[in-house]
Amino acid sequence: MPALLSVVGLQTPVVRAADLRLDAGECLAVEGASGSGKSRLLRAIADLDPNRGEVRLDGRLRSAMPAPRWRRLVTYVWPDAGWWTDRVGDHFSDERAAAEWLPRLGLPDGALDWPVARASTGERQRLALVRALVQHPRVLLLDEPTGALDPDATARVEAVLRDLLAAGTGIILVTHDAGQARRLAHRRMRVEGGMVREVGEVSQCP
């Protein structure tokens, strides 16, 4: 059976020949110092930066599918992702589905009608995650998904991510929080100077 996501020889000016494999329902934590190329790795997988290498989803080559379709299936979510209109709700491809996610992430019901400027950094971070979730991606590339969140909101995001994993979504998670990596990830990888290497299994907390 092919892996959910497989990456062979992925190269950009920053990332050097990364190989990785992600199965359905699996979470892979990526660690490394700031500036080591973690975000660059996720951007390259999402095809947001020019890159070389063979990337497949369910065995299907990324290069054989239009880039917008690829990014709906393999979606990169990062902390300072932008907002392009004033109203929060206009950023969602499916507002009704978005409304259903809000309470699970501790966001108020009316948040979709807010102007973007009213949402706090932490609220925006969760809304940006919902923006991706309503499109049902097969793989989520999450860059510090709880960086700006308090413990309660962090726990809610992690609960949602666990549900997604149980439903078969694959997650590559960049996090500085070792506890979060332990709580969510099945395997860990380390990025140093653009080189990516596997550091091993993570013992799962129950």
Partner 1 sequence: MPLISLTVWDLALASLLLLVNGGASLVLSLGVARPLAIAAVRMVVQLFLVALVLKQLFALQSPWLTLGAALVMGLFAGQEILARQDRRLSGGWSYGLGTGAMVTAAATVMLLGLLVAVRPDPWYDARYAIPMLGMVLGNVMSGVSLALNTLTTAVVRDRTAIEARLALGATRWEALRTVHRHALRTGMMPIVNAMSATGLVSLPGMMTGQILGGVDPHEAVKYQILIMFLLSGATGIAVLLASLGAVHRLTDHRHRLRLDRLSARTTG
Cβ proximity to partner 1: between 144 and 202 the closer is 144
| Helix or strand run (H / E) with residue 190 | strand 187-192
- How far apart CA 182 and CA 2 sit, in angstroms, is 26
User: Closest distance between partner 1 and the C-beta of residue 81, in Å?
Assistant: 4
Closest CB to partner 1 among residues 75, 146: 75
Q: Which CB atom, from 85 or from 204, has the smaller least distance to partner 1?
A: 85
Centroid of chain to Cα 16: 21
Residues that bind partner 1 (CB under 8 A): 46-50, 66-69, 71-72, 75-78, 80-85, 93, 128, 131-132, 135
Q: In the complex, what is the shortest distance from the CB of residue 62 to partner 1, in angstroms, rounded to a whole number?
A: 9
Q: Which is nearer to partner 1, 75 or 169 (CB)?
A: 75
**Position 16, amino acid:** R
Tell me the closest approach of the beta carbon of residue 67 to partner 1, in angstroms.
Answer: 4
Query: Nearest distance from residue 155's CB to partner 1, in Å?
Result: 26
User: Could you tell me the CA-to-CA distances from 122 to 61, 118, 125, 127, 128 in Å, in that order?
Assistant: 35, 11, 5, 9, 10
> Are 112 and 98 contacting, i.e. CB atoms less than 8 angstroms apart?
yes
Q: What is the CB neighbour count within 10 angstroms for residue 153?
A: 18
Q: Is 201 exposed, middle or buried (0-12, 13-18, 19+ CB in 10 A)?
A: exposed
Cβ distance to partner 1 smaller for residue 50 or 206: 50
The DSSP bridge pattern shows strands 139-143 and 74-77 to be parallel
Q: At its nearest, how many Å lie between partner 1 and the CB of residue 174?
A: 14
